[in-house]
Amino acid sequence: MLTDPSSVSRIGFLVLDEFTMIAFSSAIEVLRMANYASGRKHYEWTVFTVDGQPVTCSNGLPTAPMKTYADAGPLDMVFVCGGTNITRLVDDRVIGLLRRIAKDKVSLGGLCTGTYALVKSGLLDGYRATIHWENISGLRESHSRVNFVHELFVIDRDRITCTGGTAPIDLMLTLVGARCGKTLVAQICDQFSHERPRDSKDRQHIPLAARLGRNHEALGDVAALMEANIEEPLSLDELAHLAGLSQRHVQRMFREALGCTPSQYYLDLRLRRARELLLQTAMSITSITVACGFQSPCHFSKAYRALFGQSPSGERRYAGGMPLASRSRADDATVVAVAAYAADQVLASEVFAGAHPV
C-alpha cells in the first residue's frame, strides 16, 4: 500500500450485485473529502463489475461501472463490495477475477460481505480478517484457515477487511491518517460530524452493557456469561453466583431493563447462534443442536419454530444457503416478545428448574 502523500493512491471498488450502498458510499465519501479538505488529489477511484455490466445495489438503485478491471489501469488496492445473497453471487467469474488481481500484486479488501468473496477465493487463508458479525460464526466453522475476529476492520499485510454499515468510514480514516496525517483526519471528521475515528480494535457488535449504559453493568456481565456459555448453558443459580448477585436480583434486572426473564433472553441468544450456524454452515441439525445447548433435535426444533416461525430444516431449505446478513430480521422489541413466548410455552422453564439445560 502507498504511504507517500505526494503520490496519488488509486483505489478500485468491485461492486457485486445487491451490494450494500451504505458501506460502499461510506468508503468513497472519505476519499472524496480527503481530496476536498486538503485541496489536492490524494486519491482516485474507479468502480467496476465482474463483466462490465450494471448491477443493482441492495436498496434497488442501479449502479453502472466506470470501467472494467482490465481498463482501469494500475491500482494500488481493490475493495470487493458485497451485500445480500453473497453466497449465490460469488461464482467462478468473481473468484477468477480476484485471483487475477492478487496475482497483479494489488492489495485486496472486502467491505461488508465482500470479505466472503475473498474467503471463497482462498485469498484470506493465513490472514486475520473480519466480516459482519452475523456471518462470523458460520465462516469460522467452514473456513478454519482464516482467523476471524470481531473487530470493525482488520489490516493484515496486503489484505484489508471491514464490516458493514458505517465502519468503512473508520477504516478509510485510518488509511488516510497513515498517508496524510491526523490533521486531515480531524478535518474530515469535522465535515462529517463524526465524533472520532473508531479504532480497528473496537468491537463491531456492541455489547449489551454498552447499549444499556453504566447503570446496567451488572446486567451486561450476566449477558456476557450467557454469550460465553452457549453450548453448555448455565443455570440461573450459576449465573447469579458467577456475577456475585442473588437470583432475584438477576431476574429483576432483566425484567426492568429488557422486559423479559433471564431464561427468555438466554434462549433467544442460543437460537440466534443456532440460526447463524444453520444458514452459514453445512453443520447438521444434530450438531447445531449440541453446539447451542439443546438436549435433542426435537426440543431444538420446537423452540426454533416458536421464535422464527418455521423448523430448522424448513429454514435451511428456504434460505438455500443464503448467509444470515442477507435475511431480514425482526426488530428487537418483536424478537424479545416472540422469544418470551417461546421460552414460556416451550422449554425455558427447564433451564432453571433443574440440572438439565434446554
Any idea which residue has 422469544 for its cell? 339
Domains of the chain in start order, with CATH, are 9-192 (3.40.50.880), 208-353 (1.10.10.60)
Cα 329 to Cα 108: distance, rounded to the nearest angstrom: 30
Q: pTM to 2 decimals?
A: 0.66
**Grid coordinates belonging to 295:** 438436549
User: Confidence band (pLDDT; 50, 70, 90) for 162?
Assistant: very high
- Three-state DSSP at 207 gives coil
How confident is the model at residue 348, as a pLDDT?
A: 38
**Grid coordinates belonging to 326:** 442477507
Average pLDDT over residues 197-205: 74
Residue 199 amino acid letter:
D
Compute φ and ψ for 142, nearest 5 degrees: -95, -15
Compute CA distances 165 → 25, 100, 111, 113, 181, whole Å.
Answer: 10, 28, 9, 11, 25
Element (H, E) at 301: helix 297-308
Average pLDDT over residues 15-24: 96
Sign of the torsion formed by the C-alpha atoms of 114, 320, 229 and 246 = positive
Exposed, middle or buried, 227 (CB in 10 Å: 0-12/13-18/19+)? middle
Average pLDDT over residues 277-285: 87
Q: What Rg, from alpha-carbon coordinates, does the chain have? A: 22
The answer to whether 49 and 65 have CB atoms below 8 angstroms apart is: yes
Q: For residue range 86-115, what is the model confidence (pLDDT) as tens digits?
A: 989 999 999 999 999 999 999 999 999 999
The answer to whether 201 and 182 have CB atoms below 8 angstroms apart is: no
How confident is the model at residue 4, as a pLDDT?
A: 64
Q: For residue range 57-87, what is the model confidence (pLDDT) as tens digits?
A: 999 999 999 888 998 889 999 999 999 889 8
**Strand 77-81 with 153-156, pairing:** unpaired
The answer to whether 280 and 269 have CB atoms below 8 angstroms apart is: no
Cα 105 to Cα 235: distance, rounded to the nearest angstrom: 53
Q: What is the 3-state secondary structure (H, E, C) of 32-101?
A: HHHHHHHCCCCEEEEEECCCCCCEECCCCCEECCCCCCCCCCCCCEEEEECECCHHHHCCHHHHHHHHHH
How confident is the model at residue 248, as a pLDDT?
A: 96
- The rounded percent of the chain whose pLDDT value lies above 90 is 66
Compute CA distances 316 → 281, 282, 322, 340, whole Å.
Answer: 10, 10, 9, 24
Helix boundaries (H) for 181-246? 182-192, 208-212, 217-228, 236-243
Chain centroid offset of residue 112 CA? 7
How confident is the model at residue 355, as a pLDDT?
A: 32
Max Cα–Cα distance, the chain, nearest Å: 68
